[in-house]
A and B are shown apart, each in its own frame.
Chain A
Amino acid sequence: MSIGILSFKEFLAGDAQADRVVPPTGFTASLTVFSAGAMAFLAVFALALSLATSRLADRWGAELARSSTLRISAPDEQMAAQTAAALKVLETTTGVASARALSQVEQLALLEPWFGPDLPLDTLPIPQLIEVIENGHGFDSAGLRLRLAAEVPGAILDDHTRWRRPLVRAAQRLRLLGWLSLALIGGAMAAMITLAANAALSANAQVIRVLRLVGARDAYIAQAFVRRFTVRAMTGAIAGMLAGLGAILLLPATEVGGGFLTGLGFQGWHWLTPLTVPLLAALVAFFATRAAALRTLRNMA
């Protein structure tokens, strides 16, 4: 069997004898374990960022895409009448699935993050908000604005377009940034493991010469190195992943701050996704070391 078709199954089964032919110690061992651990730690955060921004983009997209807000600013004595008129206009507008005026409690909750929980809403000239939910086809914003201007002079329609799109776009770019970070982390880990593998192969040139002298095939020699580096990378990555998960657990809960960054973490089955990090680290180490070993053995031929 040539190294080109080195069986992954054979690799997983391992060869206790082959594992022994490479000296067990050396700085490359610590270097590989440490770099894999550090990269896995960062990968967990990048994964959390990607998943959190995915959730955010989905939520913003879903929540804002089909909703609009009608704001009615009118003197107190006209507020109820204009609200009723606006609701009537909305009921007869094609494309509007439902419309409802927000209660005082709901409006208070919206203002609470800025003014605190004891806001005396009844003493302030707060506009009445009406939540408008579109149906599948949506409504004609321009036409609705014209009708509202004629029938409800204090009404201003905000279809969220101005700020929804940049927010969703920002969330999508953050998500992309997270995946890009993961790719870069994988690449950096591959580079570091390749360097460590090259160093180990160079340091063990004598071992390779002896193995060749006694009839070892390149596949056998490469596998001894590949298996060792893959196990080291996986070990480091498991430690790094556990540390990363611990750090994520120590982040403040979403409810505490209510902001975006406190939502950085995993939810539901997403807690299982960091388990893929050590496996991916092992795969990266496998292919990086295999490529380095093949190159070195070819050059030493």
Chain B
Amino acid sequence: MGRIEHEGQPVIELENVAYSYGGGELLSDISLTLQPGSFHFLTGPSGAGKTTLLKLCYGALIPTAGYVRLFATDVRNMERDDIAMVRRRVGVVHQDCQFLDHMTVADNIALPLMVSGRDMLGEMANLKELVSWVGLTERADAMPPELSGGERQRAALARAVIMSPDVILADEPTGNVDWEMSQRLMRLLVELNRMGKTIMIATHDLALIRATKAQVQARVLRISNRRLQLAGADL
């Protein structure tokens, strides 16, 4: 397939990428360019390789063939510390959220600030504002296991954006929440996109994609038979 592009300088670029695991090829000949401010949906059946493709996009996996460039640097030329620095520019929301259960919700949201050595006192106002933005002010001192599915997703989203990253990658962010909460989460992501953030969301919820496309100009990509293609006009 041809290169899927968006105008401007790419923040993430995949060129003829393949990824194999356990002797089988999961992804083949993937080329994708994410430009600043773009909004992408990544869809496809379960097991198609959506999560694998997202992991390639933030350096959690190294391609077995082809090139992945994160902010213009080939991921193969990056040391682990370089990957860590990239992660500060790419906010990731996992379906299972992945929190530190011994720390409060507010601490988990502030975790990227802690690991980057920011002055926490100086960031308190921003943290409070962000917690309020995702509607978790009342739950800030709760522990992650006490949160509902929707609250966990919102907390994960807050954690992903607290460093004001250039890119937000979300893997089935609405997988465990009801329709109303899905809509609320998508509104937050659309709002972030309007602030100039590049967004890519892996989901198999076509209704959600249609609803979101009414609010924002988004491209829908589909993984099919290990390859990436633009989705049809029906989406």
Residue in B81, B88, B92, B120 whose CB lies within 8 Å of A17: B120
Docked Cα-Cα span, A15 to B79, in Å, equals 24
If A216-B84, A218-B80, A218-B81 touch, does A210 touch B100 (CB 8 Å cutoff)? Answer: yes
Closest Cβ neighbor of A211 among chain B residues: B115
**A214: shortest Cβ distance to chain B, in Å?**
4
* Chain A neighbourhood of B111, CB < 8 A: 21, 210-211, 214
Chain B residues in 8 Å Cβ range of A220: 115
**Cβ contacts under 8 Å, A17 to chain B:** 114, 120
Report, as a range, how many residues of chain B touch the other chain. 20 to 34
CB of A217 closer than 8 Å to a CB of B: yes
Residues of chain A within 8 A (CB-CB) of B116 are 215
Q: A17-B120, A214-B159, A216-B115 are in contact. Are A207 and B92 (CB under 8 A)?
A: no
- By size class, the interface of chain A is 20 to 34
**Cα(A23)–Cα(B144), bound, Å:** 14
CA distance in complex: A301, B84 (Å)? 11
* CB contact between B163 and one of A206, A215, A216 (< 8 Å): that residue: A215
Interface check B10, CB cutoff 8 A: no
B98 touches A215 (CB 8 A): no
B87 interface residue per 8 A CB criterion: yes
Asked if A206 and B85 sit within 8 Å, CB to CB, the answer is no
A165 in contact (CB, < 8 A): no
Residues in A with CB closer than 8 Å to B81 are 2, 217-219
Contacting residues of chain B (84-105) with chain A, CB-CB under 8 angstroms: 84-88, 92, 94, 98-103
Contact A210 B98 (CB under 8 A): yes
Option from A24, A213, A218 in Cβ contact (under 8 Å) with B102? A24
Question: Are the CB atoms of B84 and A215 closer together than 8 Å?
Answer: yes
| CB proximity of A76 to chain B, nearest CB, Å | 90
Q: Which residues of B contact A214 (CB under 8 A)?
A: 87-88, 111-112, 115, 159
Q: A211-B115, A214-B88, A297-B80 are in contact. List 12 more A-B contacts (CB 8 A).
A: A18-B115, A20-B107, A23-B100, A23-B102, A24-B102, A210-B98, A213-B87, A213-B92, A214-B87, A214-B159, A215-B86, A220-B115
Chain B interfacial positions (CB closer than 8 Å to A): 79-81, 84-88, 92, 94, 98-103, 107, 111-112, 114-117, 120, 159, 163
